[in-house]
Amino acid sequence: MNIACEIKKILVLRNDHMGDLLLSLPAISAIKQHYPKAHLGILIQDCNRDILWNNPDIDEIIIDKKQNVFELAHKIKEKDFDMAVILYPCWRNGWLCTLSRIPCRIGTGYKPVGILFNKRVYIHRTKIACHEIDYCLRLADEAGVQSTNKDAALKRDITLWIKDDDKLYAQALLNKHNLLSTSPAGDAISLIGIHPGSGGSALNWSKESYAKLIDGLSERYKAKVVLSGSTQEHDLIEQIISKTHTKPINLAGQTNLGQLMALFSFYSLFIGPSTGPMHLADGLGISVIALFPPLPSQSPAKWGPSCKKHMILMPEGITCNLRKCKKEGCSEYNCMDKITTEQVLDLAAQASSLYTSWKPVLLSAMLTP
């Protein structure tokens, strides 16, 4: 199908998780730069709306409320999109684009849903051929973008905007706990954020390890430690705090997504597992220490942070070929505790140099998937 003709309306479909949407932003930006006069709409989950606030590449946000596929397809059909770039290739999205009669449908050629696309990219996501950012850019290339010819650093940038009201809320929340300096700028002094929850998306560190880390950061570096999470993760964080003697601040459940972004913006360092909030901190340009399991499907080669100011820790001496963790059925469970608190504390000591001469660090016995 020839897509050299004028494209007036483009729909990008990324109605899955927070981290996935964040890693799609460079591709969305590349599409908008290539079609600057086109109207660009995006289908997302409502919970991720704040990620796109004030984004100049987005002209319209369509919320997938998980309604009947025919109902949503009818709504999309009325908007007369010329092209769909399906970054989340599921049957629902395939049928949405087909039923709404979008002429050019770009997506993966390696999944069964690919039969509903008429422009296909043949790259295996599950085989970790590239990072998710680059996978999305490959789909953008199929839309005519040719992002591979652009500056490599520029094309992979993630830019986020924070609402003034959310910034003020986060500042007030931190001031309530006396966690900000008294400087006119209100800058945080050695404020380290830990987001210990993973929502079950990745194998995680133990509560005891997080507790030892919190005490080490407070005692060794005199850092102020803030723990964030969802309302559902409040009890998990309280259990972690109960194992500490320095007693960090638990802000779980006290922020929505926009406010969480604002909260992260005050951090000098973020520490957490492979999950959406880690990518959020990374996208905000915060220095990140990310804890990754050895599962190939969760490899940092595909899902790692993309900002230059990041460090990745993985269990040493573990080679795993499983798609999913067997947990108690594995002789190495919980392998994540092979990451020691001393390793994390040593990396945290480098945080003071992150704004001068910084090089990404990867510590693991499994450097490639």
**DSSP class of 197:** -
Q: Point out the least confidently predicted range of 12-26, 268-282, 306-320, 350-364.
A: 350-364
- Cα–Cα dist 280/111, whole Å: 28
In the chain, count H helices and then E strands.
12, 13
Domains of the chain plus CATH, in order, are 9-155 (3.40.50.2000), 164-363 (3.40.50.2000)
The more confidently predicted of residues 323 and 256 is 256
- Walk across the sheet containing 269-273 and list its strands: 249-250, 224-227, 191-194, 269-273, 288-291, 310-313, 361-363
Residue found by looking up tokens 């500490």 in the block = 244
Number of Cβ within a 10 Å radius of residue 71: 9
- Mean pLDDT score of the chain: 87
The amino acid that residue 106 corresponds to is: I
- Cα–Cα dist 266/180, whole Å: 9
DSSP calls for 118-144 = SEEE---TTTT-S-HHHHHHHHHHHTT
Q: Please report, to the nearest 10 degrees, the dihedral formed by the alpha carbons of residues 37, 39, 45, 48 taken in order.
A: 30
- Identify which of 132, 166, 154, 141 has the alpha carbon closest to the alpha carbon of residue 274: 132
Burial class (CB in 10 A: 0-12, 13-18, 19+), 331: exposed
Q: Point out the least confidently predicted range of 90-94, 311-315, 316-320, 338-342.
A: 316-320
Alpha helices in the chain (DSSP H): 18-34, 69-77, 91-99, 132-142, 152-155, 164-176, 207-221, 234-242, 257-264, 276-283, 300-303, 341-348
Rounded to whole angstroms, what are the CA distances from 26 to 8, 18, 67? 20, 15, 29
pLDDT, position 153: 44
pLDDT in tens, 166-221: 999 999 999 999 888 644 444 445 799 999 988 776 778 999 999 999 999 999 98
pLDDT band at residue 147, thresholds of 50, 70 and 90? Answer: low
CB 107 within 8 A of CB 120: yes
- Cα–Cα dist 108/87, whole Å: 8
The more confidently predicted of residues 327 and 215 is 215
Partners of 63 in the β-ladder: 44
Rounded to whole angstroms, what are the CA distances from 209 to 205, 233, 276, 343? 6, 17, 21, 11
Work out the angle at residue 315's Cα, subtended by the Cα atoms of residues 311 and 321, and round it to the nearest 5 degrees: 115
- Identify which of 316, 322, 305 has the alpha carbon closest to the alpha carbon of residue 361: 305
What number is the average pLDDT over the span 70-80?
97
The more confidently predicted of residues 316 and 107 is 107
Q: What is the pTM of this model?
A: 0.88
pLDDT in tens, 300-323: 989 999 877 789 999 988 888 777
Sign of the four-CA dihedral 340, 344, 347, 352: negative
% of the chain with per-residue pLDDT over 90: 67
Number of Cβ within a 10 Å radius of residue 311: 26
pLDDT in tens, 32-48: 999 999 999 999 999 99
**Phi and psi, residue 318, nearest 5°:** -115, 125
